[in-house]
Amino acid sequence: MKLYKLILIILTLALIMGCTQPVEVDNSEVIVAVEDPDLEVTEPNVPEEEPVAPEVETPGQIPEEEAEPEVPIEPIEEETTGTTHTVKVLNSGFEPTELVVQVGDTVNWVNEREGNLKIAQVVGSRQCTSIKSTVFNTGESFSHTFDKAEQCVFVETITIYQVMTVNIK
């Protein structure tokens, strides 16, 4: 049994290391406040806006005051036909450990851990490696809506021995 756990831990770590994605660095300017009386302060180089030429009314053109006001278009809300399924993340593991859902359904993992272990992270494996939560605390949750039929195996990466399966039909 110990060998089984060791193999599971090694495979899970290999999965996690293989699933990490490179971090993009933002090259924006960083401003740091420094208290140095000898330091010369210069204003940032901000491009000036170009002047805009006034509009000239041409014959036959309707002045803006007389034009009909635009009516805002309200977005049409999509009807969601999927069902939401809840999975508890407990100290002892996922509850339930196996779930069957339909394409378009959402699974909501809720962290209900107690005691010293209060954080959780859910990561998909195999063909579902793109599904990955951030670390979330007790009372918080992570949701994912499934858009194709497949079988997904999920690992709780904080304890690395808790596994569950979601079968999407």
Comparing 78 with 6, which gets the higher pLDDT? Answer: 6
Does residue 31 lie within any of the structural domains?
no
Of 113, 111, 117, 112, the closest CA to residue 143 belongs to 111
Mean pLDDT of the chain: 76
Does residue 71 lie within any of the structural domains?
no
> What pLDDT shows up at residue 31?
45
pLDDT at residue 120 is higher than 50: yes
Q: What's the CA gap between 154 and 131, in Å, rounded?
A: 9
- For residue 120, what are the contacts with CB-CB under 8 A and spacing of at least 6? 89, 109, 111, 113, 133, 135, 136, 156, 158
Does residue 64 lie within any of the structural domains?
no
Over residues 120-142, mean pLDDT: 93
pLDDT at residue 16 is higher than 50: yes
pLDDT at residue 130 is higher than 60: yes
Does residue 37 lie within any of the structural domains?
no
Q: What's the CA gap between 161 and 8, in Å, rounded?
A: 7
Does residue 140 lie within any of the structural domains?
yes
- As for how many domains the chain has, the answer is 1
Does residue 124 lie within any of the structural domains?
yes
CATH of the domain at 10: 2.60.40.420
Strands 141-145 and 162-168, by their bridges, are unpaired
pLDDT in tens, 90-110: 988 899 999 999 999 999 999
Domain, as residue range, for 122: 2-17+84-168
pLDDT in tens, 50-72: 666 666 555 665 555 555 666 66
Does residue 102 lie within any of the structural domains?
yes
Does residue 67 lie within any of the structural domains?
no
